[in-house]
Amino acid sequence: MAAVIPRRVYYSVYAILLGLVLLTWGLSYLHLSHPLSVSVALTIAIVKALLVVLFFMHVRYSSWLTWVFVGAGVAWMGHILILTMSDYLTRGIVSGW
């Protein structure tokens, strides 16, 4: 059976998540320049997603097979993004293609 996680873990994770929401929101008013603003916003989103997956979805306390399933999703998403963008971002760099 799944491990019972102390309730204060959930409250702490929730507090961090809300802090990150406020941080993203505050940063959006600083009007950071283009590549930096997206990188910061997406980094915060990845941290939030990790917290939800590891604690709310119990993956931190789950079997290695669950980790394999979750890893497959992350790996697939990484592959489709990196391979697709390695095409679109390099068009025009190699002449004659």
Residues that bind another protein (CB under 8 A): 1-2, 4-5, 7, 10-11, 13-14, 17-18, 21, 24-25, 28, 31, 34, 37-38, 41-42, 44-45, 48-49, 52-53, 55-58, 62-63, 65-66, 69-70, 72-73, 76-77, 80-81, 84-85, 88-89
Question: Taking the complex as a whole, how short is the minimal distance between the CB of residue 95 and another protein, in angstroms?
Answer: 20
User: What end-to-end distance do the CA atoms of the chain give, in Å?
Assistant: 56
Residue with smaller CB distance to another protein, 25 or 97? 25
**Burial of 20 per CB tally in 10 Å (0-12, 13-18, 19+):** middle
Residue with smaller CB distance to another protein, 2 or 94? 2
Contact at 8 Å (CB) between 90 and 82? no
CB atoms within 10 A of CB 55: 19
